[in-house]
Amino acid sequence: MSANALEKALWQMYLVPGDVERFRSDAEGYASEFRLDDKERRALTSVDVMALMDQGANALLVLMAFQTIYGPERLHDYFDIVNAPAA
């Protein structure tokens, strides 16, 4: 697929409070509403920051969605993930 569908899912989650609630309660159901391939779907439903970016999602958009999902108190986790040395 393309990063457009993945970014749309992240953007809507950030922009629409009801969407993030739907994602939190049923990530698979939320992901099924977008034209995502298997890798994109796994990255989205597991909120795998690096996989989302590897699939073409904009890093700032991933950050915004991460904060929307987990709240500002877990923002340090995002930076830990992004700044971790490559395996």
Number of domains forming the structure of the chain: 1
Q: For position 43, what pLDDT does the model report?
A: 97
Evaluate if residue 59 carries a pLDDT over 80.
Answer: yes
For the question of whether the overall pTM of this predicted structure is more than 0.85, the answer is: yes
- What is the DSSP annotation of 20-44? HHHHHH-HHHHHTTS---HHHHHHH
Report pLDDT digits (tens) over 4-18. Answer: 999 999 999 999 989
Residue 7 domain boundaries: 3-83
Q: For position 1, what pLDDT does the model report?
A: 54
Report pLDDT digits (tens) over 17-49. Answer: 899 999 999 999 999 999 999 999 999 999 999
Q: What average pLDDT does range 58-68 have in this prediction?
A: 96
Q: Distance between CA 31 and CA 44 in Å, rounded?
A: 7
